Chain A
Amino acid sequence: MFTISGISVSPGIAIGKAVILSHTLNEVEAKNISFSQIKSEISKFNNALIKAENELLKIKKDLLISQMGSFTSFIDIHLSILRDEKISKNTIDIIHSNLCSAEWALKLQADEIIRKFEKISNPYIQERKHDVMQVCENIAKYIVGSNQKISHKKNNSILVAHDISPADALKFKSTNFISFVTDMGGPTSHTAILARSINIPSIVGIQNAKKLIKNDDVLIVDGDSSTIIINPNSNVLHDYYLRKNHWDTEQKKLLTLAKIKSKTLDKKNIQLLANIEDEADIKSIFSKNADGVGLFRTEFIFMSKGKMLSENEQFVIYKRLASNLKNKELIIRTLDSGADKVINNPNTESQNPALGLRAIRLCLAEPDIFITQIKAILRASIFGRVKILIPMLSSINELNQAKWLIKRAKNLLDAEDKKYDKNILIGGMIEIPAAAIHIDTFAKQLDFLSIGTNDLIQYTLAVDRTDDSVSHLYNSIHPAILKLIHNTINAGKKFNIPVSLCGEMAGEERYTKLLLGMGLHIFSMHPASILRVKKKIIETNCKKNTQIINKILKSDQQSEIETLVSKLNQF
């Protein structure tokens, strides 16, 4: 028994047997052939090309039918790589010149192409090497006949793979794996998106999972602690079965909460909104009965296409979302790229990207990007309850410029004779300490506020949560953070505008009672957390907690705050 850890991208516990997705190209060996075998190797290769192409074409067709349009551009790029003579012709040349097997020739050629990609300094182009790898891997599988028939697998299987390509992801969507474990990938990888969309616990970025795990090993995937236990002993296994049962019953119980009104015991109505990244997330809004979308992170639709989208392309997406949401509200955050989410700009290599040209700063520096997006949002605004949310405001100057550009976008639409909601509400993210400290000025000029705790904490405490050496200093209930959140909520009351909280803190039920006590009435979070938080809300009596809350807000001792928060949760 041993334990490895990675990045959890979807919560829960899975217990099952490992099914390793072979990585054919990494495993092929050099094999020489005789002159007379050339012909058969070439036809093996050509047949594999045709099969791989047909598979992609079929996936593309299925995607178009199931309206998952955002994935088709990946498939197009894979198709053109597959059809490129660099692969189709050069591999055959190598079979001839080196007298080697088709799979070995393909491996040599793939390595050669990948080396070229690695030399390119533009990170966007360099990333395309993964596409080349995935395409060649698929061809190789057809050559050696190792394309696993995954539909006929046993129950309780956990897929262990080097990486999951978008094409794989779509194939696996309809199979019944109970968990995914991969070497590569991060929170926004295809594996992560897939795992969340079918709601199974998964861990990515393990680096050497495929080396450490063998077929049929018993695995416990613990999405809560981001660990995988390999071949657990019977005590641990027993313990996890209990935990899993507990988790499963909790999940079932939670589902019954969907229909219940989100109201505290002292009759305060609390709005629960969802943070979404993709149109597909909309299903969970209805299944969890959320009040709407509190944060639509538009940068992810750009990232999934790998380029800026035109006004019309964006409009189509926003319009579909707005009308599918029926009468629920849709808060669209304008582009928040830069820093960790670079779209396609080779000039964004900054020493300190979190403090660099990103979000509204990037949009003000490149007003065309901003105006294009605002026009698309405005045009969609007549199809639902759409609001605009501006990220990373640090000065009133930026807000004024952004508002001026929004006005310009409206004028352009007037000139084009296009309809939009003339009174569309404009809100601001409060995530830079300067804005939280100077909150009254912002509250006066905005229609609503949204507290982004992830960045607010990172900037206030100067802690990068992804840096292991300081991550323990990241603290959501540091007295300074609580003060900034409290000030923002109070400014909302003073100027009579709604305040929501959309950072991860909103989805952590440990803080629900605290935030309610501080006067927060709107929570926006990952859809998976909504019912857990709702459970906390309906058992909270804010009036009864006033004393403890006041103590917490007055305290300057971290340990005292911790104890009081735990005490809050005991009732």
Chain B
Amino acid sequence: MIKKKLKIKNKLGLHARASNKLSELANNFNSQTFITFNDERVDAKSMMDILLLSIAQNDEFQIEISGDDENDSFKAINNLIDNLFDEGE
């Protein structure tokens, strides 16, 4: 299992479209994926759950990924966050 802290860098944080991209990506992998923020742990495959965490720019959250493709999944999610969800800022 991978358990890491990640920081949101894009300006708007995890708003609807970014939450959507993140959950779609998590859904592309078999691994179970959970996000913990402010003591709340949610399934990263649910767009609404991610959105409801209300994560803003520079917030840090914990991600847990477990399954046969956990390494690939983590890499992809990390990339998405690094690329600012393709929002350019």
Contacts and interface: CB of A to CB of B under 8 A. Distances in A.
A308 B46 CA distance: 24
Contact of A310 (B17, B47, B51, B89): B89
Given A76-B20, A306-B15, A344-B12, A86 B49 contact: yes
B31 interface: no
Interface string A287-307: 000000000000000000011
Contacts of A346: 56
B23 to A, nearest CB: 7
Interface string B26-64: 000000000000000001011111011010100000000
A371 to B, nearest CB: 11
Contacts of B45: 85
Interface residues of B, number: 21
A307 B46 CA distance: 21
A377 B47 CA distance: 34
B54 A73 contact: no
Most B Cβ at <10 Å: residue of A77, A80, A81: A80
B54 A125 contact: yes
B89 A80 contact: no
Contact of B54 (A83, A84, A122): A122
A308 B49 contact: no
A37 B24 CA distance: 33
Nearest to A347: B56
B16 interface: yes
Contacts of A80: 20, 23-24, 47
A116 interface: yes
Contacts of A125: 15-16, 51-52, 54
Most B Cβ at <10 Å: residue of A81, A84, A86, A344: A84
Given A306-B16, A344-B15, A85 B56 contact: no
Contacts of A266: none
A307 B17 contact: yes
Contacts of A121: 54
Contacts of A250: none
Contacts of B52: 116-117, 120, 125
Contact of B48 (A113, A310, A344): A113
Given A81-B47, A84-B47, A122-B54, A308 B17 contact: no
A217 interface: no
A514 to B, nearest CB: 45
A86 B89 contact: no
Secondary structure class of chain A's binding surface, majority of residues: helix
Nearest to B24: A80
Interface string B9-22: 00110011100100
Given A84-B46, A84-B48, A307 B15 contact: yes
Contacts of A132: 48
Contacts of B47: 80-81, 83-84
B87 A307 contact: yes
B12 A308 contact: yes
A73 B24 CA distance: 15
B88 A310 contact: yes
A376 B15 CA distance: 24
Contact of A124 (B15, B24, B46, B87): B15
A311 interface: yes
A128 interface: yes
Contacts of B20: 76-77, 80
A86 B15 contact: no
A131 B48 CA distance: 11
B89 A85 contact: no
Most A Cβ at <10 Å: residue of B16, B24, B43: B16
Given A84-B23, A120-B52, A125-B52, A307 B12 contact: yes
A121 B45 CA distance: 23
A542 B56 CA distance: 58
Contacts of A122: 54, 56
Contacts of A62: none
Given A86-B49, A307-B15, A344-B12, 19 more contacts: A80-B20, A81-B48, A84-B23, A84-B46, A85-B45, A85-B46, A86-B46, A125-B15, A125-B54, A128-B51, A131-B16, A132-B48, A306-B15, A307-B12, A308-B11, A308-B87, A308-B89, A310-B89, A346-B56
The 9 closest A-B pairs by CB, nearest first: A310-B88, A80-B20, A80-B47, A77-B16, A86-B48, A84-B48, A86-B46, A122-B54, A84-B47
10 contacts: A80-B24, A84-B46, A84-B47, A85-B43, A113-B48, A122-B54, A128-B51, A308-B11, A308-B89, A310-B89
